Amino acid sequence: MRIPVLFFCLFFSTLFVRAETRRPNVIVIMADDLGYGDISCQGASTYETPNIDRLAAEGLRFTSGYCTASTCTPTRYSFLTGTYAFRTKGTGIAPPSAPAIILPGTATLPGMLKEAGYRTAVIGKWHLGLGGPDGPDWNGEITPGPLEIGFDHCFLLPTTNDRVPQVYLQDRRVLNLDPSDPIRVYREKPSEDHPTGITHRDTLKMDWTHGHNNTIHNGISRIGFYTGGEKARFRDEDLADEWVKRSIAWIEAAAGEPFFLFFASHDPHVPRMPHERFQGTTPHGFRSDSIAQLDWCVGELMGTLDRLDLAENTFVVFCSDNGPVMDDGYADGALEKVGDHRAGGPFKGGKYSVFEGGTRTPFITRWKGTITPGVSEEVVATIDLFASLASLTGTKLQPGAAPDSADVLDALLGDSVAKGRSELVQQDNGSSGNFGFRAGKWKLVRHDKGKARNMIVESELANTDVPKFQLFDVEADPGETVDLIERNPELAVKLKKRLEEIIGSGIK
Ligand code: NG6
Ligand code: CA
């Protein structure tokens, strides 16, 4: 009995080795603040996400798929560099006009794929800083930026849409900028009469709840101040349409050679202002309307692959940059209209949290004809795409490149005997001393200051008192409700030490 089994394994592993040297197109669709339970194949029952569900039905849906941080910038940093963000200072949420965070010369995922012969593009939200130490020159050439770290093309919202300015960066320049009306970004209110969310609150089409009360554009007040660039400004409602249009055009032009597209959606991040055709179409206000818009984007991209007959030659990953939040600064009704919808699924916490809900998020891979559809419980993370795609394309990593990225390619492709990560560190925005450490079925939760943020939806922004260390069996208790630390003192010591070792190694 054993010999045939061994023979079979060898036979199939040979097939896998062959598959690994292929160079399929790669599309990573990263949602923004989308929770595990926000898609209808993972618990959302009051609205549908048919296109994301279809992707899952045709691919592999991971129940332990993670991003590495519970805010945007550190997850994106680690995704593109294969390095945990806590190792590098300045990787927390980037303010408006922040300088480039990933510097030229850094080993990056797009750079690695470019070396492997791929055309590379990022379309959508950036939020990793732009320009030299003084930040971007909005009216000139913006460099360094994505084109200096491995992307051939970019079409971007510079930060997040709640931060100024509301213009597109196309490669190294702001699109449609009229030189006679330069963009100026300010830290302080530029003049006494400059309208803000405070002085002109009654004119807003969506009110703010905390922060987000500086310059007004399109009836929405933002973080930061700016003037000018009127012709270059976009309407929030048009972002998704524009990115889909640009992505389709880029795919059409790139197809023929292998391509890598990082489609960085802004949905359902605040300000939630989906296109009018999605407004009011779902039960939970603009938050779930934005998820409907995201789902539409997925459908358009997948439809393009079908139309161009590329679905069997394209490895698609769908993921999120952090867990969900309801009120993130605007009065869009998300909290009031949430009803029984559990955006974080069975998990505790959400955005800003190191409980599972902060980082355990939707994670789907699809490669028609290669990935056998199903559900996987293996632990995989956005940070692993670097090493895994290097492995897939047979590209050798430079020494020191992507130190925290695990090659989990076989798990991503659904090889039934392949293992995911044995351990994963989860962080929040950084510098708080809050970490999650998943090791097998165990999860050590560390809150150095004894305070947790965004514990549960109902009191999401409150700082809640928590023990400095907690230990959960997340297989038996995914909601992290029963702290087992007292009952497992030796294990706790071991995990604390191991976490310390990982965090301590290589902090720059
Ligand atoms: C916070 C913002 C929040 C959001 C977040 C970044 C306030 C009060 N809150 O500081 O609205 O922009 O930063 O989100 O300003 S992320 O998904 O891009 O990390
Ligand atoms: Ca985010």
Q: Which ligand is nearest to the CA of 264?
A: 2
Cα-to-centroid distance, 223 and ligand 1 (Å): 9
Residue 334 · residue 286 · CB < 8 Å? yes
Residue 447 · residue 429 · CB < 8 Å? no
Cα-to-centroid distance, 72 and ligand 2 (Å): 4
User: Nearest Cα to 470, choosing from 498, 438, 440, 501?
Assistant: 438
User: Nearest Cα to 408, choosing from 373, 379, 438, 437?
Assistant: 379
Residues 308 and 188 in one domain: no
Residues 79 and 141 in one domain: yes
Atom number of ligand 1 nearest to Cα 125 = 18
| C-alpha to C-alpha distances, 266 to 38, 293, 320, 393, nearest whole angstrom | 15, 10, 10, 29
CATH number of the domain residue 453 falls in:
3.30.1120.10
Bridge partners (DSSP) listed for residue 96: none
Residues 76 and 198 in one domain: no
Residue range of the domain that includes 272 = 23-174+232-365+372-412
**DSSP conformation letters of 422-453:** SEEEEESSSSS-EEEEEETTEEEEEETTSEEE
Residues 359 and 394 in one domain: yes
DSSP3 helix / strand / coil % (the chain, rounded to 5): 30, 20, 50
| Residue ranges in the chain whose pLDDT is less than 70 | 1-21, 455-462, 506-508
Residue 79 · residue 382 · CB < 8 Å? yes
Determine if ligand 1 sits within 6 Å of the CB of residue 269: yes
Best of 223, 266, 332, 353 for a ligand 1 pocket test (most atoms within 8 Å of beta carbon): 223
C-alpha span between 268 and 72 (Å, rounded):
12
Residues 67 and 80 in one domain: yes
Structural domains in the chain (count): 3
Residues 199 and 237 in one domain: no
Residue 5: how many CB atoms within 10 A of its CB? 9
Determine if ligand 1 sits within 6 Å of the CB of residue 223: yes
Q: What is the pLDDT of residues 367-390, one digit of tens each?
A: 999 999 999 999 999 999 999 999
Q: Which ligand is nearest to the CA of 210?
A: 1
Q: Is residue 77 part of a domain?
A: yes
Residues 37 and 143 in one domain: yes
Residues 152 and 210 in one domain: no
C-alpha span between 236 and 275 (Å, rounded):
8
Cα-to-centroid distance, 328 and ligand 1 (Å): 7
Predicted confidence at residue 219, as pLDDT, reads 98
Phi, psi of 224, rounded to the nearest 5 degrees: 100, 165
C-alpha span between 33 and 457 (Å, rounded):
13
Determine if ligand 1 sits within 6 Å of the CB of residue 33: yes
User: Nearest Cα to 298, choosing from 67, 33, 55?
Assistant: 55
Map tokens 């669709």 to a residue: 29
Q: Is residue 14 part of a domain?
A: no
Determine if ligand 1 sits within 6 Å of the CB of residue 326: no
C-alpha span between 185 and 179 (Å, rounded):
15
Atom number of ligand 1 nearest to Cα 211 = 8
User: Nearest Cα to 223, choosing from 177, 304, 146, 159?
Assistant: 159
Cα-to-centroid distance, 22 and ligand 2 (Å): 32
163 token code pair: 């931060």
Predicted confidence at residue 178, as pLDDT, reads 98
Residues 28 and 101 in one domain: yes
Atom number of ligand 1 nearest to Cα 127 = 18
Residue 303: how many CB atoms within 10 A of its CB? 13
Q: Which ligand is nearest to the CA of 320?
A: 2
Q: Is residue 488 part of a domain?
A: yes
Predicted confidence at residue 16, as pLDDT, reads 45
Determine if ligand 1 sits within 6 Å of the CB of residue 270: yes
Residues 240 and 293 in one domain: yes
CATH number of the domain residue 378 falls in:
3.40.720.10
- E-strand stretches of 32-75: 60-66
Cα-to-centroid distance, 417 and ligand 2 (Å): 33
Bridge partners (DSSP) listed for residue 314: 25
C-alpha span between 232 and 190 (Å, rounded):
20
The SS3 call for residue 287 is: helix
- E-strand stretches of 168-281: 169-170, 173-174, 184-186, 216-217, 220-221, 225-227, 259-264
C-alpha span between 436 and 446 (Å, rounded):
6
351 token code pair: 């955005």
| C-alpha to C-alpha distances, 61 to 23, 371, 401, nearest whole angstrom | 22, 11, 28
Which helix or strand (DSSP H or E) is residue 381 part of? strand 374-381
C-alpha span between 82 and 449 (Å, rounded):
28
